[in-house]
């Protein structure tokens, strides 16, 4: 296992490099997923790393946490408060078995809502993200009833179609369509609808994507840090690590069609499924291209 101290040291070195470069420096961010399910010492380390980005670590993401019950859960919550955690961010896709299926874990809905109950009783706040999908819409009223029965300070509650990423790419059949979007339940419409002005179907997105073809884009270069490569990364300068990541990215993208060609050849001009952002549809089109044309190449690239 990669020692946290070595990872944190590497992160701070890259932030120092960024600070030296000034205005033309790339942004630097460190991520460990899926959740900050750590002890107090580890949480403090991540608080220091997030502070270098100007961010605080006060809200804990509940996705993927170790399942705890009874006294263990209570002790864990007390420890979080002592570490400066003031609340939780929860992502829910329906209730009970519907949510559990999306998260590939039996009992996950009961576990997360129990954390909200206990945390609320302790004065901890919560942010709720509620996913809209074909199989969550029929139980959305039930989900809201469950949440409204839980005490506590709700700082934010919003609904959004699920994102095209990770395991969710396998569930495109559950994506809401134009008819679902245009006939949402009144209780859903009364929520904050995240980026609702962009809830467009594939056929609505395609011309917009083509219109912005050629426009400059930000590029995210990912350097995965693990016990196998930490020695090399520590020995290299930041410039060398950056150059290696850039080289891999450029090699992966060599020969990849532009977005206009992806839209023309792989887009569905009659597609009615809803995407919250154009980037999600670009990623989907790229995935189709990769499978059909390049046999899975470009593993490190994504639109």
Tell me the pTM: 0.87
Question: Cα 295 from chain centroid?
Answer: 27
- Kind plus residue range of the DSSP H or E element containing 235: helix 230-235
- Kind plus residue range of the DSSP H or E element containing 160: strand 153-161
The DSSP code sequence of 103-154 is: HT-TTHHHHHHHHHHHHHHTT-EEEEEEEE-TTTGGGHHHHHHHHHTS-SEE
Q: Beta strand 274-275 with 200-201: parallel, antiparallel or unpaired? A: antiparallel
pLDDT given at position 216:
82
Tens of pLDDT along the chain (303 residues) come to: 888 899 999 999 999 999 999 988 899 998 876 666 777 788 889 899 999 999 988 998 898 888 999 999 999 999 999 888 999 999 999 999 999 999 999 999 999 999 999 999 999 999 999 999 999 999 999 999 999 999 999 999 999 999 998 888 999 999 999 999 999 999 999 999 988 889 999 999 999 999 988 888 888 899 999 999 999 999 999 999 999 999 999 988 888 889 999 999 999 999 999 999 999 999 999 999 988 876 655 444 444
Burial 95-125 (b: 16+ CB within 10 A, else e): bbebbbbbbeeeebbebbbbbbebbbeeebb
pLDDT given at position 36:
64
Give the Å distances, CA to CA, from 61 to 12, 65, 66, 80, 247.
23, 8, 12, 12, 33
Interior angle at CA 77, CA 144 and CA 29, nearest 5: 85
CA atoms of 23 and 41, how far apart (whole Å):
33
The DSSP code sequence of 206-222 is: HHHHHHTTT-----PPP
Instruction: Name the nearest CA neighbour of 286 among 177, 209, 200.
Output: 209
CA atoms of 148 and 168, how far apart (whole Å):
27
Instruction: Name the nearest CA neighbour of 38 among 11, 9, 60.
Output: 60
CB hemisphere CA count around 249 (13 angstroms): 14
| E strand spans, 10-112 | 59-61, 87-92
Q: Are 268 and 223 in contact (CB under 8 A)?
A: no
Q: Are 90 and 112 in contact (CB under 8 A)?
A: yes
- Kind plus residue range of the DSSP H or E element containing 14: helix 4-21
């Amino acid at each position: 296992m990669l020692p946290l101290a070595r990872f944190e040291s590497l992160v701070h070195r890259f932030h120092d490099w960024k600070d030296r470069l000034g205005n033309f420096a790339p942004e630097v961010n460190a991520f460990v997923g899926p959740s900050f399910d750590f002890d107090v010492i580890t949480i403090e380390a991540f608080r220091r790393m997030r502070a270098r980005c100007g961010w605080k670590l006060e809200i804990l993401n509940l996705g993927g946490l170790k399942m705890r019950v009874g006294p263990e859960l209570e002790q864990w919550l007390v420890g979080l408060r002592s570490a400066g955690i003031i609340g939780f961010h929860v992502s829910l896709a329906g209730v009970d078995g519907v949510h559990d299926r999306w998260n590939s874990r039996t009992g996950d809905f009961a576990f997360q809502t129990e954390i909200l109950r206990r945390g609320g009783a302790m004065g901890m706040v919560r942010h709720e993200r509620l996913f809209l999908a074909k199989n969550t819409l029929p139980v959305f009223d039930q989900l809201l009833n469950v949440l409204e029965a839980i005490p506590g300070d709700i700082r934010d509650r919003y609904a959004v179609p699920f994102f095209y990423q990770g395991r969710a790419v396998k569930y495109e059949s559950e994506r809401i369509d134009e008819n679902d979007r245009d006939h949402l339940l009144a209780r859903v419409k009364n929520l904050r609808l995240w980026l609702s002005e962009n809830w467009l179907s594939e056929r609505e997105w395609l011309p917009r994507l083509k219109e912005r073809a050629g426009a400059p884009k930000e590029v995210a270069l990912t350097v995965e840090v693990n016990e196998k490569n930490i020695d090399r990364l520590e020995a290299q300068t930041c410039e060398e690590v950056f150059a290696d990541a850039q080289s891999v990215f450029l090699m992966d993208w060599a020969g990849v069609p532009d977005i206009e060609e992806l839209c023309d050849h792989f887009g569905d001009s009659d597609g009615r499924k809803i995407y919250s952002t154009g980037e999600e549809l670009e990623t989907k089109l790229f995935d189709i291209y990769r499978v059909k044309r390049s046999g899975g190449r470009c593993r490190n690239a994504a639109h």
